[in-house]
Amino acid sequence: MKTLYFNGIIFTGTDLVNHFVVEDGVFVCEKQDATIAYDACVDLEGQFVCAGFNDSHLHLLNYGKALLMAQLHKHTTSLEDLLHYGKAFLEAHPLREGQWLQGRGFNQDYFQDVKRMPTRWDLDQISTTIPIVFTRACGHCCVVNSKALEVAGINSDTKEVLGGTIGKNEDGELNGLFFDNAMNYIQEALPLPEKEDIKKMLLVGAKALNSYGITSCQSDDYCVYREIPVEVINEAYQELIEEKQLSVRVYEQCNFTQLEELKKFIDKGNVTGVGNDYFKIGPLKMLGDGSLGSRTAYLSQPYADDPSTRGFTLFTDEVMDAMVGYASEKGMQVAVHAIGDACLEQVLNAIEKALLKYPRKNHRHGIVHCQISRREQLERMARLGLHIYAQTIFLDYDNHIVEARVGKDLASSSYSWETLMDKGLHVSNGSDAPVEIPDVMKGMECAITRTSIDGCGPYLEEEAFTVEEAIRSFTMESAYASFEETKKGQIKEGYVADFVILSANPFTTEARKIHTIQVLKTYLNGVCVYEKGGV
């Protein structure tokens, strides 16, 4: 099947052209010629086309899971609204015995009535007989009701864990809040899904990604259900591929917390690059610290707006050094979440030790998020040749809080992704969904304007991306992150025919209106997997 797409504004990744040809799922290099017998011709009618978007860090399984639970991000203007929505959702979605009411997406900084986290006593107003867990948008904090504490067997004698904390009020009474590793107490109490449930979550998430023009993603899935063997997650993906249902290509960011687990995984032949065009093993993924919004990101100095804490690391130096070193020794790529500058220092130390002991060219080890950083750390990342997994969409919220959280001086050298590009590093883009909605156009606008969608900013305007850099960060640079820059991320001969048709040209659209550009169609292997307004 040979199809000509013509009369378009087509950004190949390097140039603007007016047509391209797809044959058997790949782009072929042909001039538009009336003498050629095409199987089909598609008039693009002047629409803008570019390679399919590649979100270089998200949680596909968790995103699909979140789409099937209470959508708290839509009801976060006040605590009262959150609780009212929780009651209405429970009434509209009756639960079977043993099930929990789950929701994700609240952000107390947006509450207009109170500026605090919800507590167990707030959630008790929704129900005292059904266990409830609501997770903050960042995913680094959750709150449960009293029934959930009872079901999970958690009380004042429950031990604290490294890299987490259990919330208490001034009297030492549990308030229902759990941060980072302490959230495992709640996760372990939740009922586990079957493989078919996992497949449904992946499908729901993938279809949602297609609606934002995303054809590839780099996904951290193993951490969602720690009690489920990673083989089950991999089997779910493979079955969807065999059933020809998976509509995104997935590069798995393999999340492990213990060296022995990692060794067993690698011993079974799971190393970076193993797999096929639809599901492939990517890097070792580690979660180094928490989030800025919940004040659990690990800083080198106390939070400017809460001097009682610096956040915390989720790993000791010894464990992080051992895991990063082992992965590097075995030829596995490494990608570590680091939001606070103290966590970043810990990660840089681990990677530098690993590369000194096990020298590797083209390792593409990377920093996920890379938010709070000191100037000397920017230089160090450049010397180490690291890949940067940015989330420019984070500026939509963080613009409002970054200086208040970390202070003016530290904020002045943070979120410095353009500086890192200028130093020669590759910077890809993503959303961290379900932390943020995987809206690529909003992510591009924040990258280009350094301004929140609501107008807050610009923050460090000199760090702004050009339009071309923004598009490439979601296409070519993300393909580079997964060692796939020679097969996708551009409209180029021999590359997979993954592309997206947009309602307007980002190069000529007013920068503050780029987020209004709509995805009209999304194609995977030359086949339409999403059409706006379609069934």
Q: If you write DSSP's letter for every residue of 64-127 in order, what string do you get?
A: HHHHTSEEGGGS-S-HHHHHHHHHHHHHHS---TT--EEEEEE-GGG-SS--S---HHHHTTT-
Rg of the chain over Cα atoms, rounded to whole angstroms, equals: 23
Which CATH topology does 208-216+251-487 take? Answer: TIM Barrel (3.20.20)
Calpha distance 342→298 (Å, rounded):
5
Calpha distance 102→126 (Å, rounded):
12
DSSP 4-48: EEEEEEEE-SS-EEEEEEEETTEEE-----TTS--SEEEE-TT-E
Calpha distance 375→102 (Å, rounded):
41
Give me the phi and psi of 390, to 5 degrees please: -85, 160
Calpha distance 517→81 (Å, rounded):
30
Model pTM above 0.85: yes
CA angle 139, 141, 144 (to 5 degrees): 115
Strand extents, DSSP E, 107-190 = 132-136, 141-144, 164-168, 174-180
Calpha distance 2→317 (Å, rounded):
55
Calpha distance 499→17 (Å, rounded):
14
Extract the tokens encoding 524. 């995977």
Q: Which amino acid, 114?
A: V
Sheet holding 164-168, edge to edge: 70-71, 101-106, 132-136, 141-144, 174-180, 164-168
- Burial status of residue 299 (CB atoms within 10 A of its CB: 0-12, 13-18, 19 or more): buried
Closest Cα partner for 10 from 469, 490, 524, 488? Answer: 490
Helix (H) or strand (E) holding 198, with range, is helix 195-211
CB-CB neighbours of 77 under 10 Å: 13
Query: pLDDT value at position 535?
Result: 55
Spatial contact of 21 and 4, defined as CB atoms under 8 Å apart: yes
**Domain locations in the chain as residue ranges:** 208-216+251-487
Q: Calculate the CA dihedral of residues 3, 237, 179, 310 and round it to 10 degrees.
A: -60
Beta bridge partners of 284: 254, 334
Closest Cα partner for 60 from 223, 181, 230, 187? Answer: 223
Extract the tokens encoding 122. 């707030």
Calpha distance 135→155 (Å, rounded):
20
Spatial contact of 327 and 334, defined as CB atoms under 8 Å apart: yes
Give the pairing type, strands 141-144 and 132-136.
Answer: antiparallel
For 88-117, letters b (16+ CB in 10 Å) and e give ebbeeeeeeeeebbbbbbbbbeebeeeeeb
If the chain, 535 residues long, is cut into consecutive pieces of 10 residues, what is the mean pLDDT of each piece? 95 96 91 78 97 98 95 91 96 91 93 93 97 93 97 94 91 94 93 95 98 98 94 98 98 97 97 97 97 95 97 96 98 98 98 96 97 98 98 97 97 98 98 96 98 97 98 98 98 97 98 98 98 82
Q: Is 252 helix (H, G, I), strand (E, B) or coil?
A: strand
Spatial contact of 132 and 101, defined as CB atoms under 8 Å apart: yes
CB-CB neighbours of 300 under 10 Å: 16
Query: pLDDT value at position 35?
Result: 66
Tell the residue number behind the tokens 């301004």, with chain if given.
Answer: 451
Give the pairing type, strands 519-524 and 499-502.
Answer: antiparallel
Extract the tokens encoding 453. 């969608």
Strand extents, DSSP E, 307-365 = 334-338
Extract the tokens encoding 363. 């390792």
